[in-house]
Every structure is written in C-alpha cells, then in structure tokens.
Amino acid sequence: MLALGCLCASTALAYKTVGFRWASEAGPIVYRLDPAGSDDITDGSDHQRIEDAFQAWGCAEGTNLRFSRGPDMTGPGSSGDGLSSVFWIENEAGLSPFGLTENNVAVTINNVIIEQGATVENQETDIILNGVHFQWNSQGQASGNNIPIFPIMLSHIGTMVGLDQSCTAADDPQCPGEDQTILKWFYDYSATTPLPDDVSGLQSLYPADDDSQCEGPFRQGERCENNCDCIGDMVCIPGIYDYNICAPQCTSDANNCPPQFACLFGAKGEDDIAKGTCVQVGTQQLRPIGSYCEVNTQCENNSCLAVADVGRSICRQTCSDDGDCSENTQCLDGVCIGFGPFEGIGCDEEPPSGCACTQNATTDPSAALLLGILFWGFRKRRRP
C-alpha cells in the first residue's frame, strides 16, 4: 500500500514521515551522479553543489545518517535499477517516464513499498532534475526559469530520507512555520541547511548511536584514508565501491556485524573464539568465501556449512592449498578461511589521541548491486 506520510504523535513538532527509512546502521547512503551533469554548467560546480546539499543533511546534529558519493553513473538514468542516482533530463521525450512536465522542477522517486502502520526499509531513491524547461545555476540565485541547484537538492534530499512536507499550504494548521522547515509547498531559495523541524524529523528516524561526526571520526561504511579516521577499534579497509571504508571487528561468539556487512573469520584461538573483520557486502551482494552465513543462497559459491576451525557456519570452499582460495583467505585443514582481523591501513603518524596502527592494506573483490521494485514519487512546483 502506498502512503504519502503520517503526522508524528508529538504535538510539539510538525514534521511528517512517509513510512520508510534507510538502514543507516549499515553506513552512509551511497548515491551516484551523472558525469554529464547539467547542460547549463560546464565547470563541474553542478556536482559540487549536489554534494554540498547531501553534506548539509549529513551534518545535521544528533543523527547517524550520512551520505557518500559513489562511482559515477555509466549509462542513462532509470528508476528501479537498485542504484540511487541524481541526474538531469535534457530532452523532452525523457521527461514523461518520470512524470516531469513544464511545471515540475524536479522529482524524487523512492523505490519502496509503503506498508500501513509500519516503517519499511528503503534501498533506492532517484532525484531527477528537469533540464528541458528550466535553466540551472550553481550560484544560488533564482530568476524566472533560472533555478539554483543547492536549495532544490536540499528539499528533495529531505524527501529521499523519508520525510514528507511539513507545510502543504499557506493556511496549513499543522505547519510549524515557514521558517522552521524547508519541506513546504514551495522551494525556499534562501535555504542553506535543514531547519529545526527537519532536523527533529531526521533525529526521529536516524538517532545518533555513536561518537562519529560528519567530518570525522567516521562510522562503518564511511570513507577513510587510514585507521585513525575511524571511531573506536574500526579499521580502514577497501569497500565494494572502489574506496576505503571504516569497518568493525567481529568474533564468532557474537554475530556483531552491522547490516550489509559479513564477518570474515580467522581460525579459533586458545580462547576457542574466532576473530575477524566485518567486510562490506551491500544489500544484495553475495557473501565472500570464508564469511559468516546462515543459508546457502547468501554465499557467492552457494555453500554455507559449519567449519570446526571457526566454530560457525561460513561460506565454505574446500581447498588443497592457498592457491585454491581467494585473496583474503588461506587454506587450513582443507577449507578456505580468513587470516583473522584485518590490520587496516596504518595511520600516517601518531595523532594526539595516541592511535598507533600498522600498514596492511587488503582488497575486497566484491561489488554491490541494490535492487528496487516499486516507487513512491514526490514532485514540487515552484511557488507562484
């Protein structure tokens, strides 16, 4: 069932939620950009303003929601391909598949099935910008059909994360005030950041659960250069999007990896516990050889079996020597298992906090593909 949103129970706040959230516990929302950008801008500032808008939401206080720019799009934009994308449509024929007309500046399409009375998980959102009927700029000025990128993106990202319009009309009795939210029936071209009511809604969906900050230290799944960029005992290792990410450590006595990660164990130690590191697998990616699993279909080799040297079920592959195993595993007693906890990428120098790390970069060969099916769309007209 598709639902457009529900008013939160608190009478002190007017923010509205649509009925979905992202699994922020797994790491940042990864989005892609069309390398072509806008036909109206040739200096790359169109991409920068989009990134600035995502950063503004990711730096809202008291939340664990973050964003990360992933690899650029490699083909025409489409909805329902399992990948969150931001792109312009620059030809008339390309508008109608996304429901865009000469009256719509942009549309947000959340590919998720809304369930009445429940909050479901979203895995894909596309933001499509109308480059046919509007001219775009990166300077923040609006004049006629000349539209600034940043405030448009700021508004549509709010819808992307699961918030609905707090103010639907000038006489909306539930509106907290036009100066309290950017999610209203018109675009606020002066907006520079989410406003108090927007932040309250974000905190309700994505409450902060660690000491990470938008500019570091970083949490699981966020970009890093070395171990000292990460919170706690997380290590900086290659992720599935061709950049390094912060990853937690894990053990066989507790399935303690966050969503979209799987524990790659080493052999059990004297304490009868196997230690390892949580490697990123994404939402639909199959788990690598040697990592924790529950059923065969989770594994890239379709084999999930208990292994005595680990004390857990793992994606089990038999071997005669290390050459039969993947890069991050070794052959032990005829089975490919991990080497133990990754050391990660060593810190360039010892910071004041005393973090001291060693160099041992590893490679995770897996790649991610997110799958989506139906969509909930949001369009907004310019204020008359």
How is residue 231 written in tokens?
């919170």
Helices and strands of the chain, counted as H and E runs: 3, 22
pLDDT at 378: 44
Task: Identify the CATH class of 6-209.
Answer: alpha beta
When the pLDDT of each residue in the chain is averaged and rounded to a whole number, the result is 86
pLDDT at 375: 35
* Confidence category of residue 340, pLDDT binned at 50, 70, 90: very high
Cβ proximity of 267 and 310 under 8 Å: yes
pLDDT at 285: 80
Q: What percent of the chain has pLDDT above 90?
A: 74
The more confident residue out of 376 and 147 is 147
Answer positive or negative: Cα dihedral of 174, 178, 180, 183: positive
pLDDT at 75: 82
What's the CA gap between 71 and 55, in Å, rounded? 17
User: Which single residue is written with the structure tokens 């990410």?
Assistant: 245
Cβ proximity of 50 and 68 under 8 Å: no
Phi-psi region of 56 (alpha: psi -120 to 50; beta: other; left: phi over 0): alpha
DSSP state letters, 175-224: ---TTT-S-BSS--TT--S--HHHHHHHHHHSB--SS--TTSSB-TTSB-
pLDDT at 13: 58
Worst-scoring range by mean pLDDT, 25-39, 66-80, 306-320? 66-80
Asked if residue 381 has pLDDT above 80, the reply is no
Cβ proximity of 242 and 363 under 8 Å: no
pLDDT at 284: 65
DSSP H helical segments within 120-162, as ranges? 149-160
Asked if residue 360 has pLDDT above 60, the reply is no
How is residue 202 written in tokens?
């974000």
Asked if residue 4 has pLDDT above 50, the reply is no
Domain boundaries, the chain: 6-209, 227-338
What tens digit of pLDDT does each residue of 176-216 get? Answer: 999 999 999 999 999 999 999 999 999 999 999 999 999 99
What's the CA gap between 304 and 335, in Å, rounded? 12
Asked if residue 22 has pLDDT above 90, the reply is yes
Q: Using CA atoms in the order 22, 26, 359, 251, what is the torsion angle rounded to 10 degrees?
A: 180
Q: What percent of the chain has pLDDT above 70?
A: 86
